[in-house]
């Protein structure tokens, strides 16, 4: 408690000494005099000589169009992806096509969640505990037929003996690669998740699993004491010192970029929520070895990884946690991401449609796809989503502007 209070006081002092008080005239030492009248008019600024902190931030934003700004809706699917109590289906992979069918891989388990207070050796501590990776196919992307397991948990004592889950698919030169999270028993609070890999010559399998993880947490944090408490640390370590999660491999610039979510030992709550960030590891071969980028972390926020190639760089949907959550970002080099749009919420655990032309427009790959939803904490199921670029706002009764999805999909507001 005292350590967190000290940090707060230090941050307060830094902010206080660097900013004027609310009763003082704002510091206008920055040169905004050369900004055009058109820009001043665009932001509705009354006087360029009396700029609030908000107006200064706005004037420093890059001028971008709305091509990255989307809205979306979520809908139920049919067949085996319809809700089924007693079965967990979650974290759908991206969609690919083979033999004229869509393919999707996902985490699957049964049984209710008991949590860490229960019998962790025999019960589930999370919905994604005791999962295997299954796959399903669909003719139309709406009605899905479950095909069975693709990658299962390892034998007792293996690095993946407890759960394999949160999977992504990559097709490369006629071969197929599944990367996914792994947990080794016992699943306690301080357990360190890793990333595994499996490959096959066909989406139907059979799949060969890597003997060892292809990515592990940083080994530079130090727990405090022996209590199974993830908040007690002597040294926090790198942003991914506790867990590496939600992997996704993309071919990029002649190499393979493995994007992942990192969780830090002694995780804290920040002004944006949980302190979750993302990183990347790079290899010359899909099977590795993967070397973490020295520029990690490459995001200030995030949760489930959602990345795609676009315009010579990499685009990323950042969701759920941190001060930059619910934004779409883009990096011309796959490393240095900048915010391109801020959206109202976002589907969780997105499975993108990798069958579309993702270069057609910035968010073309998000026009349709898969997501998951919590019916309860015990039971989750896979749903579909669709999105569209938001071009303008209209109230009920106004003419529908060209480029909008349609009246039924656009929520109106007269306030």
User: What tokens does 157 get?
Assistant: 């004592």
Cα 370 to Cα 74: distance, rounded to the nearest angstrom: 9
Structure tokens at 118: 């229960």
Handedness of CA 335, 341, 347, 353 (dihedral sign): negative
User: pLDDT truncated to tens, each residue of the chain (415 aa)?
Assistant: 434 444 433 333 333 333 333 333 334 446 788 899 999 999 999 999 999 999 999 999 988 889 999 999 999 999 999 999 999 999 999 999 999 999 999 999 999 999 998 899 999 999 999 999 999 999 999 999 999 999 999 999 999 999 999 999 999 999 999 999 999 999 999 999 999 999 999 999 999 999 999 999 999 999 999 999 999 999 999 999 999 999 999 999 999 999 999 999 999 999 999 999 999 999 999 999 999 999 999 999 999 999 999 999 999 999 999 999 999 999 999 999 999 999 998 888 999 999 999 999 999 999 999 999 999 999 999 999 999 999 888 888 887 644 445 433 333 332 3
Rounded Cα distance, 288 and 291, in Å: 8
Note the Cα 234 to chain centre separation in Å: 29
Question: What pLDDT, on the 0 to 100 scale, is given for residue 394?
Answer: 86
Determine the pLDDT at residue 10: 38
Q: Are 178 and 199 in contact (CB under 8 A)?
A: yes
pLDDT at 32: 85
d(CA 38, CA 34): 11
How confident is the model at residue 400, as a pLDDT? 64
Whole-angstrom distance, CA of residue 176 vs CA of residue 131: 21
Take residue 276 and report the two structure tokens written for it.
């979750």
Q: Are 167 and 178 in contact (CB under 8 A)?
A: yes
SS (H, E, C) 56-72: HHHHHCCCCCCCCCEEE
Q: What is the pTM of this model?
A: 0.89
Question: Which two tokens mark 90?
Answer: 């979650």
User: Tokens 């669909």 identify what position?
Assistant: 138
Q: What local confidence, expressed as pLDDT, does residue 370 receive?
A: 98
Structure tokens at 380: 């989750």
Length of the chain: 415
Closest to 364 measured CA to CA, from 411, 401, 310: 310
* Contact (CB, 8 A) for 258 and 242: no
**Cβ partners under 8 Å of residue 385, min gap 6:** 72, 73, 74, 75, 347, 350, 368, 369, 370, 371
The two tokens of residue 61 are 């934003």
* 241 burial level (CB within 10 Å; 0-12, 13-18, 19+): buried
pLDDT at 408: 37
> DSSP letters along 201-261, please?
SSTT-PPEEPSS-SB---S--EE-SSSS-TT-EEE--STTSSEEEEEEEEEETTEEEEEEE
The whole-angstrom separation of Cα 18 and Cα 220 is 33
Query: Given CA atoms 74, 79, 82, 86 in this order, what sign does their dihedral have?
Result: negative
């Amino acid at each position: 408690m005292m350590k967190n209070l000290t940090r707060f006081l230090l941050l307060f002092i830094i902010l206080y000494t660097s900013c004027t008080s609310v009763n003082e005239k704002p510091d206008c030492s920055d040169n905004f005099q050369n900004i055009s009248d058109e820009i001043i008019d665009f932001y509705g600024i009354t006087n360029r000589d009396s700029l609030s902190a908000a107006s200064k931030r706005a004037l420093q934003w890059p001028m971008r169009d709305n091509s990255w700004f989307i809205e979306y809706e979520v809908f139920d699917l049919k067949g085996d992806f319809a809700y089924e109590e007693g079965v967990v289906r979650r974290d759908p992979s991206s969609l690919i096509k083979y033999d004229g069918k869509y393919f999707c891989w996902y985490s699957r388990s049964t049984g209710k969640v008991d949590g860490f207070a229960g019998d962790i050796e025999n019960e589930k501590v999370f919905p994604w505990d005791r999962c295997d990776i299954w796959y399903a196919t669909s003719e139309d992307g709406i009605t899905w037929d479950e095909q069975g397991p693709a990658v299962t948990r390892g034998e007792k004592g293996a690095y993946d003996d407890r759960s394999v889950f949160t999977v992504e698919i990559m097709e490369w030169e006629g071969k197929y690669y599944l990367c996914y999270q792994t947990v080794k028993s016992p699943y306690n609070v301080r357990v360190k998740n890793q990333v595994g890999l499996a490959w096959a010559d066909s989406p139907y399998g059979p799949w060969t699993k890597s003997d060892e993880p292809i990515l592990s947490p940083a080994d530079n944090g130090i727990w405090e004491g022996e209590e199974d408490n993830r908040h007690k640390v002597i040294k926090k370590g790198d942003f991914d010192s506790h867990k590496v999660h939600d992997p996704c491999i993309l071919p990029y610039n002649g190499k393979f970029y493995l994007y992942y979510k990192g969780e830090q030992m002694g995780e804290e709550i920040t002004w944006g929520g949980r302190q979750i960030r993302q990183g990347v590891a790079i290899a010359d071969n899909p099977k590795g070895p993967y070397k973490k980028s020295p520029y990690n972390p490459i995001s200030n926020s995030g949760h489930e990884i959602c990345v795609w190639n676009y315009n010579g760089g990499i685009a990323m949907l950042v969701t759920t946690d941190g001060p930059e959550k619910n934004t779409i970002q883009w990096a011309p080099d796959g490393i240095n991401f900048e915010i391109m749009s801020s959206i109202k919420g976002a589907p969780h655990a997105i499975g993108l449609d990798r069958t579309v032309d993702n270069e057609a427009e910035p968010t073309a790959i998000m026009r349709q796809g898969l997501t998951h939803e919590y019916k309860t904490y015990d039971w989750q199921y896979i749903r579909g989503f669709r999105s569209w670029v938001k071009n303008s706002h209209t109230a009920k009764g106004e003419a529908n502007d060209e480029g909008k999805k349609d009246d039924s999909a656009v929520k109106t507001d007269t306030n």
